[in-house]
Amino acid sequence: MRRIAPALLLLCLPLGGCQHWQSVLNARGPAASTLAHMFWIFVSVLATVWVLTMIALLLALRRRRPEDADPLATNPTTERRMTITISVAIGLTLLTVISLTGLSYAAQKVLFAHKDGALTLLVTGQQWWWKITYEDSQPNRVFTTANEIHIPVGEPVLIKLESSDVIHSFWVPSLTGKMDAITGRQNQIQIQADRPGIYRGQCAEYCGLQHAHMGLIVVAESKEDFERWREQQISSAIPPGDEERQRGMEIFMSKPCIMCHQIRGTDAGGKIAPDLTHVGSRRYIAAGTLETTRGNIAAWIVDPHGVKPGVNMPTIQLEPDEVQPLASYLEGLK
Amino acid sequence: MRQLLILSLSVLALAACEREDREYRANPVTSETEEKIALSPLSAGPSGPTEQRSGLGQQYEENAYHIAQGKRLYIWFNCNGCHAHGGGDSGPPLLDDRWIYGGQIENIVQTIREGRPNGMPSFRGKVPDDQIWQIAAYVRSMGRNVPKPAAPGRNDDMHPGPAEQRRPPGEVMDGGQIPPAAQMPQ
Ligand SMILES: [Cu+2]
């Protein structure tokens, strides 16, 4: 007992990890709930089967054959009992397999059911971040952001998945199952959050060096908050108000940054890296790797390969006194 | 004793395992590399053209990682807008062996960094130096001027026929659909 108690306690510890913002067991949307139900049904049925089998095995091990029994001798009553037991066992096995299969199909119907929603996003997986475009029938209301999706609570949102280089997989465990993003193809998946909150997602298909640092977050909020956020993201960047940020902007515009990054409302028009128009309003930079603070932005710009070795942003030579204005300019792009 | 010998010999063999060095992090303080290869001698007379190499070019040319990055950047910085994929368009072709400004990697770096008078823009200050070297290494690989094992493969969309792993467009199915971009090239 002395040994078993701590061992049991240790076994229970990992369960503590399940209550988090990135957990299949912490389901917060219809698709994820279906998956979580399936998980628990499978676990309980299979655990029961396992326990019963183990009990039967132990009983068989304990009950010994009489010493002088003739193995070929048959006894009609035992024979009959055996036939019945085995038929029941086979019947139960078939029943289990068939009902679990049926259940899986039923779950798939729910998972792939298409509900009409007002919102469609195009999410493009790139090594190693997510480009997110909010589509709209009015071209001037279309906008692009990175690594942070906002959705209104309780509404189905259609996500179109594409990839620009290799295969990635979109996975927000608390909201949906996985769906691959494949080059030259468009896959679709719907997500819906039933409760407000912040859910973390992760690329789930190995895609190269920084696969582990290719996260995204989904912020589910009330309709009003969402609309406010959307209006703010549609707008162009507000020109810097103070001198330091003004200088930061000039530095940004004179460096290679503009070849890759876009800041709407300025001359920076690069389309191959995250749109920085409102980078300061996002919770994380570098695909969920660092929190958006001035210090982290500075650290990232000075040495992106120290944070994500092999990332597709080059180390750019900056004078020591250029870092602070640049970081504060970017941090201020709310 | 024999076993020990065999064991230590096989451990020794591990020393031969070598992976290509990938240098992700360019030195943040070095400024531009200064290679000079003049195309013709500056002064009249029999002296040969000046050459001043640092060996950096070779490092880039023999490194599969650098060449592959160069391939990515070639598209990102829109070189293909003027040179197509090496075949030439408004800019001269890059995969043949005829060079206006020299075909050594140092010449190409110079071309990209400084630009050339008849319409080749200068990328100085727009592209960091190490990336210019990567692009130049890729340009060299177009004409098969780099070691074969280091050269990147050709993109799917550049093959004359559809790539082997590319299936004909499938039926539209639940959870997926095929955009026009994925349809087979004619
Ligand atoms: Cu990945």
- Give dist(CA A301, CA A318) in Å, integer: 9
**Angle of helix A30-62 relative to helix A76-112, nearest 10 degrees?**
160
Q: Answer yes or no: do B181 and A315 touch at CB < 8 A.
A: no
Q: Which of B161, B160, B182 is nearest to A183 (CA)?
A: B182
Contacts of the segment A98-102: beta carbons below 8 A, 24+ positions apart: A100/A41, A100/A42, A100/A45
- Asked if pLDDT for residue B119 goes beyond 70, the answer is yes
Lowest-confidence segment of A64-73, A188-197, B130-139 by average pLDDT = A64-73
Residue B163: exposure state from Cβ atoms within 10 A (0-12, 13-18, ≥19) = middle
Beta strands in chain B (DSSP E): 36-37, 51-52, 176-177
Q: Give the tens place of pLDDT for each residue, A89-111.
A: 999 999 999 999 999 999 988 88
Give the per-residue pLDDT at A102.
94
**Residue B185's pLDDT band (boundaries 50, 70, 90)?**
very low
Task: Look at the domain B52-179 and name its fold.
Answer: Cytochrome Bc1 Complex; Chain D, domain 2 (1.10.760)
Measured between beta carbons, which residues in chain A are less than 8 angstroms from residue B71?
none
- Asked if pLDDT for residue B74 goes beyond 60, the answer is yes
Give the per-residue pLDDT at B36.
64
Taking the Cβ of residue B77 and every Cβ of chain A, the question of whether any pair is shorter than 8 Å is answered with yes
- The DSSP code for B70 is H
Amino acid A317 reads Q
Give the per-residue pLDDT at A17.
54
**Angle of helix B129-142 relative to helix B105-114, nearest 10 degrees?**
130
**Residue B26's pLDDT band (boundaries 50, 70, 90)?**
confident
Mean pLDDT over residues A34-38, rounded? Answer: 93
The chain A residue lying nearest B185, using CA atoms, is: A184
Distance B60 CA to ligand 1 centre (A): 27
pTM of the entire predicted model: 0.86
Higher-confidence residue of B143 and A1: namely: B143
Q: Which residue has the tokens 């050594």?
A: B104
Residues 115-154 of A with CB under 8 A from B: none
Evaluate whether the domain defined by A243-331 bears CATH number 3.90.1200.10.
Answer: no
- Asked if pLDDT for residue B186 goes beyond 50, the answer is no
Give the per-residue pLDDT at B174.
52
B131, B57 Cβ separation under 8 angstroms: no
| A21-51+80-222 CATH | 2.60.40.420
Lowest-confidence segment of A50-54, A162-166, B12-16, B175-179 by average pLDDT = B175-179
The DSSP bridge partners found for residue A191 are A157
Which residues in chain A are classed under CATH 2.60.40.420?
Answer: 21-51+80-222, 243-331
Q: Answer yes or no: do B24 and A303 touch at CB < 8 A.
A: no
Measured between beta carbons, which residues in chain B are less than 8 angstroms from residue A316?
128
Taking the Cβ of residue A178 and every Cβ of chain B, the question of whether any pair is shorter than 8 Å is answered with no
Mean pLDDT over residues A277-281, rounded? Answer: 95
Tokens representing A164?
């620009």
Q: Give the tens place of pLDDT for each residue, B95-104.
A: 888 899 988 9
* Boundaries of every domain in chain B: 52-179
**Angle of helix A320-331 relative to helix A243-254, nearest 10 degrees?**
110
